[in-house]
């Protein structure tokens, strides 16, 4: 090849290469939530499957999906009793999916937790044990044995989709003697109130009654994009409020019950964590009176990746809105508050109407605002 032709070919090749999109793990709407006083807000999904049980993808894909969604922590919880791909992937080590995910994540800022799903008929149902040290030791004929072994390994165990139809024909969770015994023995610590597309307020009631940690998970088997994103949904996740962003901090927070479950702009959690989370999401950008009026123009900003739905909980009414309004994700809204006379300060009181601290009970939020 002539030198001039070679030079042109190299120039064209390098130009085309430079114009290719760079490899990225970012999504169009990655999860983003602020820290709350005293804790770091970590975004987690502790219920996922791969081809090492009944999932459809390789473990490394779960890591890439988590990075795209800006998650902080994940666990791959393969069924220890159910492996429909065993003819093609007959790996004897039940820790293998975890090991592959750990290798994929080693150069990324993503924490991987070893976990397994204990899968039995009712009344046992399905349960996830995370922070296990050896999943192989959970395999047993006695349905109580995996729970005892998980406790021995220091694992955190939560009850999966207790309102799922195969476990309960009424669609309500059945808290049997088996679950009561596990709680009493310190072998059951949490419960999913959100699994896939379903929120069960009866599960929330059980969490509050039995002091179980509130969980929300995707329970993904296929691709996150196909199952959630392309259908206009976010994946369900658990927000964990940890003292430190490490595995020890996550584990301590789960056992302490410092969580909020969220899905599609819905929030479910105890008031002591949900209220400060929502208050941290909202900030006052400006507060000043419209010229020659006693109408206060109040601009509120939302720093989170979720749309927030709120209701006026003050004696003052709005000039430009009904009592219910939305602050879009990473957006803002300007309210015109009829204070009747000019004030120096205002106590802004709002109710979060797509958030629950108990069945059908919304958290009440408040800010003390200095007016310009």
pLDDT in tens, 21-53: 444 444 456 999 999 999 999 999 999 999 999
pLDDT value at residue 255? 98
> Average pLDDT in the 8-23 region?
39
Residue 8 lies in a domain: no
User: By the 8 A CB rule, do 238 and 223 touch?
Assistant: no
What's the CATH code of the domain at 339?
2.60.40
- CB < 8 Å & 24+ apart, contacts of 140-143: 143/178
Rounded CA-CA distance 313/285 in Å is 20
What's the CATH code of the domain at 81?
3.20.20.140
Per-residue pLDDT tens over the stretch 284-296: 999 999 999 999 9
pLDDT value at residue 321? 87
Same domain membership, residue 316 and residue 205: no
Same domain membership, residue 244 and residue 344: no
Is the bond preceding residue 123 a cis peptide, omega within 30 degrees? Answer: yes
Same domain membership, residue 299 and residue 227: no
Q: Which residues contact 80 (CB under 8 A, 6 or more apart)?
A: 94, 116, 117, 118, 119, 135, 138, 139, 146
The number of folded domains in the chain is 2
Same domain membership, residue 357 and residue 336: yes
């Amino acid at each position: 090849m002539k030198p001039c032709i070679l030079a042109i070919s190299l120039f064209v090749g390098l130009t085309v290469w430079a114009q290719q999109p760079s490899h990225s793990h970012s999504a169009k709407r990655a999860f983003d939530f602020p820290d709350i006083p005293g804790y770091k807000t970590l975004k987690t999904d502790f219920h996922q499957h791969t081809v090492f049980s009944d999932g459809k993808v390789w473990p490394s894909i779960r890591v890439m999906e988590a990075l795209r969604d800006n998650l902080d922590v994940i666990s791959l919880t393969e069924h220890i009793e159910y492996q429909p791909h065993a003819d093609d992937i007959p790996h004897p080590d039940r820790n293998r999916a975890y090991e592959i995910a750990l290798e994929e994540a080693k150069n990324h800022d993503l924490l991987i937790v070893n976990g397994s799903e204990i899968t039995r008929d009712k009344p046992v149902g399905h349960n996830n044990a995370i922070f296990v040290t050896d999943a192989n030791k959970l395999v047993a004929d006695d349905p109580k044995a995996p729970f005892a072994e998980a406790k021995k390994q220091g694992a955190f165990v939560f009850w999966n989709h207790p309102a799922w139809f195969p476990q309960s024909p009424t669609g309500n969770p059945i808290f049997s003697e088996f679950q009561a015994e596990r709680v009493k023995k310190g072998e059951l610590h949490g419960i999913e109130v959100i699994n896939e597309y379903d929120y069960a307020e009866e599960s929330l009631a059980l969490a509050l009654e039995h002091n179980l940690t509130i969980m929300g998970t995707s329970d993904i088997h296929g691709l996150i994009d196909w199952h959630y994103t392309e259908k206009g949904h976010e994946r369900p996740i658990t927000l964990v409020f940890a003292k430190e962003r490490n595995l020890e901090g996550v584990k301590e927070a789960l056992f302490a019950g410092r969580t909020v479950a969220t899905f599609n702009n819905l929030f479910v959690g105890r008031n002591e964590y949900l209220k400060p989370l929502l208050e941290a999401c909202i900030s006052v950008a400006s507060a000043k009176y419209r010229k020659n009026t006693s109408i206060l123009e109040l601009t509120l900003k939302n720093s989170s990746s979720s749309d927030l739905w709120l209701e006026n909980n003050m004696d003052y009414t709005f000039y430009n809105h009904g009592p219910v309004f939305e602050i879009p994700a990473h957006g803002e809204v300007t309210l015109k508050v009829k204070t009747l006379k000019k004030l120096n300060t205002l106590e802004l009181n709002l109710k979060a109407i797509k958030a629950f601290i108990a069945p059908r009970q919304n958290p009440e939020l408040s800010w003390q605002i200095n007016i310009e």
